[in-house]
Homo-oligomer: A and B are copies of this chain.
Amino acid sequence: MIKNKLFLRALKGENVERPPVWMMRQAGRYLPEFMELKAKYDFFTRCQTPELAAEITVQPIRRFGMDAAILFSDILVIPQAMNIPFEMKPNVGPWLPNPIRSQKDVDQVIVPNIEETLGYVLEAIKLTKKMLNDEVPLIGFAGSPWTILCYCAQGQGSKTFDKAKKFCFTQPVAAHSLLQKITDTTILYLKEKVKAGVDVVQIFDSWGGMLSPEDYQEFSWKYIQQIIDALKEEAPVIVFGKGCWFALEEMSYSGASAIGVDWTITPENARKFTNNKVTLQGNLDPTRLFSPPKVIKTKVTEMINRFGKDKYIVNLGHGILPNIPLDNVKAFIDAVKEYQEPK
């Protein structure tokens, strides 16, 4: 039985004393204890060694006491397992020597056996659950099929993912075939994660906001909906689409337990676009954590007042940046814990 249930209660829409708080990428580079491990072990070693992944997952909880942990991992473990061999290239990041740009390329992609290819993630979950000792729930995550396709077809990160979009717009049949394979793999993967012990799953659609509303329906949303349909009976599902304000209404009817929003939408509009019916998560601009702690506390309190303390999970509007001072992170977390509803 998990002791701190705030996060799970908010996901069910129950009334709470204060909203729960966690931060996207909270297990990461702003933490000195993470940087120590980063100096010793490369990216793939950190992801693939259950002891390291579990330790990194627990680090922020130990220091700041967030209300949920999120498993340290990467969205690109999925294509790796699908026979799409990403490398980490210095000064570039994830890099694919032969990007996927034809039906022939898609035909080489497999829907893998999860235990065989991603057993290390499942081990990391079991170990993390032991280390967390039921203090707080554990979130497992996956990228959206569209976001995974972006990297696979572009071959690396990009400001516009023009090559990935060109692939979709010139070879839609091949693109949909790849998206379906990623979707099938993601469903198997998230189900195994839940079996291994994660309490909640989050789908990150980091690049959904690069698409027009119509193209979003065709190339991103319909696959996310498949994942929600397959997972929602197993665990609460959170969907976060960066820049996807235009899809919020549809998301609110999807069966997801919560919808993440980025910082370009006001709390009032986020509530309005989701018809006040679903738990929302977000949305402080991550760069606002550079502000002095006093400003951060004021902004967090205002944010909770505007979203309302119920059906709400405090978070950033995207991942925490490196180089954020620890005192500022503490101000962000503490402001939530000290929150008092205005009389």
- Between A and B, 13 residue pairs with Cβ closer than 8 Å are A160-B321, A166-B287, A169-B290, A169-B295, A170-B290, A170-B291, A212-B285, A212-B317, A213-B264, A214-B266, A245-B264, A246-B266, A246-B269
CB of A213 within 8 A of CB of B265, answer yes
A205 to B285, CA, bound (A): 19
Identify which of residues 131-165 in chain A touch chain B, using a CB-to-CB cut-off of 8 Å.
157, 159-160, 162, 165
Binary flags per residue of A158-199, CB closer than 8 Å to B gives 1, else 0: 011010011001100000000000000000000000000000
Query: Distance (Å) between the CB of A250 and the closest chain B CB?
Result: 12
CB of A165 within 8 A of CB of B287, answer yes
A295 to B169, CA, bound (A): 10
Q: Which of B162, B169, B285 contacts A291 (CB 8 A)?
A: B169
A158 to B215, CA, bound (A): 26
Identify which of residues 233-272 in chain A touch chain B, using a CB-to-CB cut-off of 8 Å.
243, 245-246, 263-266, 269
Say yes or no for A222: interface residue by CB 8 A criterion. no
Query: Distance (Å) between the CB of A287 and the closest chain B CB?
Result: 4
CB of A266 within 8 A of CB of B162, answer no
Q: Which of B159, B215, B245, B295 contacts A285 (CB 8 A)?
A: B215
Task: Tell me which residues across on chain B come within 8 A of A166, comparing CB atoms.
Answer: 287, 290
Task: Tell me which residues across on chain B come within 8 A of A65, comparing CB atoms.
Answer: none
Task: Tell me which residues across on chain B come within 8 A of A317, comparing CB atoms.
Answer: 212
Query: Distance (Å) between the CB of A286 and the closest chain B CB?
Result: 8
The residues of A with any CB-CB pair to B shorter than 8 Å are 157, 159-160, 162, 165-166, 169-170, 209, 211-215, 243, 245-246, 263-266, 269, 285, 287-288, 290-292, 295, 317, 321
CB of B246 within 8 A of CB of A264, answer yes
Query: Distance (Å) between the CB of A248 and the closest chain B CB?
Result: 12
Q: Which residue of B is nearest A159, CB measured?
A: B159
A215 to B321, CA, bound (A): 18
A162 to B321, CA, bound (A): 9
Task: Tell me which residues across on chain B come within 8 A of A285, comparing CB atoms.
Answer: 165, 211-212, 215
Among A159, A264, A290, A292, max chain B CB count under 10 A is at A264
CB of B162 within 8 A of CB of A288, answer no
CB of A287 within 8 A of CB of B169, answer yes
- Chain A to chain B: the 5 pairs with minimum beta-carbon distance, closest first: A165-B287, A166-B290, A212-B263, A169-B291, A169-B290
Q: Which residue of B is nearest A284, CB measured?
A: B212
A228 to B28, CA, bound (A): 43
CB of A264 within 8 A of CB of B212, answer yes
A165 to B295, CA, bound (A): 15
A319 to B86, CA, bound (A): 31
New contact pairs (10) apart from A169-B295, A214-B266, A246-B264, CB-CB < 8 Å = A162-B321, A165-B285, A165-B287, A166-B287, A169-B291, A170-B290, A212-B288, A215-B288, A243-B243, A246-B266
Query: Distance (Å) between the CB of A292 and the closest chain B CB?
Result: 8
Q: Which of B215, B246, B263, B288 contacts A265 (CB 8 A)?
A: B246
Task: Tell me which residues across on chain B come within 8 A of A291, comparing CB atoms.
Answer: 169-170
